[in-house]
Structure 1
């Protein structure tokens, strides 16, 4: 009975979504992968995967087992590597981050990271919605705002300034707000995933209620909406640096801006941080330090 092989088959099946992919990776044939996962389920007395002709997803029990099994395999893999004298980071690094940060800041810098660490593979989970790192086997997540989850640890890798923006066409049609209170007369493009609620925006002298006809769960979607003259947006400054320089967008209420929002790299306080994750955190801290609109902890821009 090779329970370690069963675990590897299950973990990679969750990560690839395919028994065929696992079979090719391990060189053992798809029927064997299926039998190994079935044997693991039998030994545990629970169903780990829901299988159909179209997809394969982990059950609730499977998600919990996956997180712990993946951590165990990571520890075993690092122990084996060290025993063979391999000190370089290795393995699959799973990262969750907002789509805007992932596509515009991290992925363009990724070739350099992959050259530095040739034995690390990277998987991104892009999206603005909250993800349970432990349940879904995520190594690290990048999120803006203050840490509210006591099961996580955080490293601040920058401060994101926020700015109100609108297109020249919108302002020509609707006028330019001069005070935060003037926003009540404007179409404000709402971000539905704000932790504090999506009907108020923070300013230096307090929050202001805002409203509008457009609501989105994506910051990149909001940027595209404001570029299409749909209203006023409140966005991270780094996202609109080029549009402000080109004149496509106009900065508003700059004298009333709220303090910058921390940009944190989060990871589970309950599990050991893999070496591949530790080196990636250092790498992205260097990448973000060079981004206009982000501010380092020392207050330099």
Structure 2
């Protein structure tokens, strides 16, 4: 990079036939220009310029070097300009791994808005619960929910989703509404097998309750649907059930109590990201309302 910078300075001096003229164009002082060109000549092993008190003339080697260098510098400048345009309007295929239910229920409208904002980007989405390998598999980014394990991946916090308990009017009509979290142990509760203990908070007060039911499901979308069909109570982020609440299929219970917020992360292998990935992460942070710090996580 230093060689290219010195080459660019030489081109300006040769074009202006003057160190002063080149200094006006580049903003680099005369003394610095002279020193850099002298170092370039020393590195090449040939004199490129004849210097006089009034003007600068190219040597034969300098004329050849100028003709070649000018093309190289022009190409480098064009490349920078094109990359700047790419940053302004990124393009290419964005390959992302997304959590199935969160993507289909909540992220789809966000992705549609992002696609409209950046028409040059096309999308290759893999909706899977498995932990993809960002090192060996061709993914630019993975979106994951929940707390993360330490690893060498870069995690950017996108959101912390508020979690509350919901049930259908039909279920509540038959089974009644719990008035305190401790009463959840006597209800049908829908969730993951590993989440058999629910933790709810009200101010400084915390209650942990063992819950259970007839259904243990590994899909948020599935037990959300079961809840709308009067099969039990769910503890989910408000964003996941917003449509069902608006339509009256679910309603909030224990309104003063909240579950532990669910974090949502964007995971990448590196901090050096293509513009399409940078813009996607920034867009999700903007829409999900979280400017999270980077961390090492899985």
Bucket of the pairwise TM-score, normalised by the shorter protein: 0.5 to 0.7
Measure how far apart 1:83 and its partner are: 6.6
Change (3 A) 1:250 1:105: closer
- The equivalent of 2:213 in structure 1 is 212
- The equivalent of 1:201 in structure 2 is 198
| TM-score, structure 2 normalization | 0.62
Contact 1:189 1:215 in 2 (8 A): yes
- The equivalent of 1:274 in structure 2 is 274
**Which is greater in Rg?**
2
> How many angstroms apart in 1 are the aligned matches of 2:106 and 2:250?
21
Figure out how many residues of one structure are paired with residues of the other and give that number.
208
Give 1:255-294 correspondences, 5 Å limit: 255-269=256-270, 272-289=272-289
1:110 aligns with 2:107: no
> How many angstroms apart in 2 are the aligned matches of 1:276 and 1:127?
22
Give 1:128-277 correspondences, 5 Å limit: 128-192=129-193, 197-204=194-201, 205-269=206-270, 272-277=272-277
Give 1:48-67 correspondences, 5 Å limit: none
Task: Give ranges in structure 1 of 5+ residues lacking alignment.
Answer: 1-78, 290-295
> How many angstroms apart in 2 are the aligned matches of 1:242 and 1:121?
28
Task: Give ranges in structure 2 of 5+ residues lacking alignment.
Answer: 1-75, 293-298
Give CA-to-partner distance per residue, 1:4-37, whole Å, 9 cap, x none: xxxxxxxxxxxxxxxxxxxxxxxxxxxxxxxxxx
- The equivalent of 2:93 in structure 1 is 92
Q: Please state whether the residue corresponding to 2:189 is helix, strand or coil.
A: coil
> How many angstroms apart in 2 are the aligned matches of 1:108 and 1:278?
19
- The equivalent of 2:124 in structure 1 is 123
Measure how far apart 1:240 and its partner are: 1.5
> How many angstroms apart in 1 are the aligned matches of 2:269 and 2:207?
33
Change (3 A) 1:174 1:136: same
Contact 1:189 1:232 in 2 (8 A): yes
Measure how far apart 1:213 and its partner are: 0.8
| TM-score, structure 1 normalization | 0.62
Measure how far apart 1:162 and its partner are: 0.6
> How many angstroms apart in 1 are the aligned matches of 2:130 and 2:199?
21
> How many angstroms apart in 1 are the aligned matches of 2:278 and 2:192?
31
Moved more, 102-111 or 251-260: 102-111
Q: Please state whether the residue corresponding to 2:164 is helix, strand or coil.
A: strand
Contact 2:141 2:266 in 1 (8 A): yes
> How many angstroms apart in 1 are the aligned matches of 2:231 and 2:103?
25
